[in-house]
Amino acid sequence: MYLDVSRGFVSQETAFPFDAVVELPPQEVCGETVTFDPVRLVGKYTVYEDAVVLEGELETVAHGACSVCMEPAQAKIEVTFSERFRKDANEEEDDCFLYEGKKLPLEHMTLTLVLLNTPMRFDCGTGCTPAVELKPWNEAEKVWAEDGEETQDTYRPFEGLKDLLGNEPSEQ
Ligand SMILES: [Zn+2]
């Protein structure tokens, strides 16, 4: 997606409104695949002598897996931005994006802003429980307790000791 800013070159230092939709490919975030709805960008651009400034807001919805139950979950992403594009930008080192001619490539900027604001963990919002439920440790049996079983009922610290003493060979 390229934004044509040629009008700005006719009237430099004048802000022109723009809106654009950028489609992002699925991304790997912390080992999970996250997909995004088309990103809507609305704002204004201004062409200066040595740079083009793009200001506005973007919004999308990120879709991932709930970090607790692994069911589909989503997170709304809204970012207010003010970014500079330069023809001689080094995107690795400078704090601005590269463009050529009279068009701004929006995908790299959009992807950068969206990923910076994508949550590390998704929450399906249902107050869900873990897919693999942690069961209380049953000390006496040395096993994880079964559902509905209370560890307090089965944890008898002296029972094992009594068995040990009872198994002592009789001296008589
Ligand atoms: Zn969940």
40, part of any domain: yes
**Ligand 1 center from residue 13 Cα (angstroms):** 49
**Ligand 1 center from residue 27 Cα (angstroms):** 20
C-alpha–C-alpha distance, residues 19 and 44, integer Å = 8
Residue 22 tokens read as 């950028």
Give the containing element (helix H, strand E) for 109. Answer: helix 107-116
132, part of any domain: no
131, part of any domain: no
Res 4 pLDDT > 60:
yes
**Ligand 1 center from residue 158 Cα (angstroms):** 41
What are the pLDDT digits (tens) for 31-67?
Answer: 889 999 999 999 999 999 999 999 999 999 999 999 9
127, part of any domain: no
Confidence of residue 135 (pLDDT cuts 50, 70, 90): low
Do 112 and 141 fall within a single domain? no
Average pLDDT, the chain: 86
79, part of any domain: yes
**Ligand 1 center from residue 62 Cα (angstroms):** 15
172, part of any domain: no
**Ligand 1 center from residue 127 Cα (angstroms):** 7
pLDDT mean over 138-159: 61
Do 142 and 85 fall within a single domain? no
Do 35 and 82 fall within a single domain? yes
What are the pLDDT digits (tens) for 70-110?
Answer: 999 999 999 999 999 999 888 888 889 999 999 999 999 99
**Residue range(s) defining the domain that contains residue 154:** 137-166
Q: What is the pLDDT of residue 54?
A: 98
Do 103 and 142 fall within a single domain? no
Q: What is the pLDDT of residue 167?
A: 57
128, part of any domain: no
Distances (CA, A) of 152 to 6, 142, 155: 75, 14, 5
Instruction: Report how far apart the first and last C-alpha atoms of the chain are (Å, whole number).
Output: 94
How many domains are there within the chain? 2
CA 79, chain centre distance (Å): 14
Query: Which DSSP state fits 119?
Result: -
pLDDT mean over 112-137: 85
Do 62 and 101 fall within a single domain? yes
